[in-house]
Structure 1
């Protein structure tokens, strides 16, 4: 597997891991957790206003 050594080192520091395997597994777990949080935030039945978050134009205009 060809991995960017600089990115691996940065992620290793952020996650506090000591091995490549632990770093990659930790990064994968973080991506899955991020996806789960996003799914909850965009579920209008769970979060008030989340339907607006799913609208790209409304989301962009909030930062303008």
Structure 2
């Protein structure tokens, strides 16, 4: 009997963790920001994206 209670407890914890992860991911992706291409490129550059290929200040050149 104690083994069944322990197994049921592990089952509940596992289902709880899966449900929690699902809710967190669902909340994160429920309202995405929609941008046009130019605005998305500007936002990516602000966040540290790659600069233009002709940028002389690019560190890997």
Please tell me the TM-score bracket, short chain as reference.
0.3 to 0.5
Relative contact order, CA 8 A, sep 6+: which one is greater?
1
Instruction: Please give the TM-score of this superposition, normalised by the length of structure 2.
Output: 0.43
Larger Rg: 2
* More helix by percentage: 1
Normalization by structure 1: what TM-score?
0.41
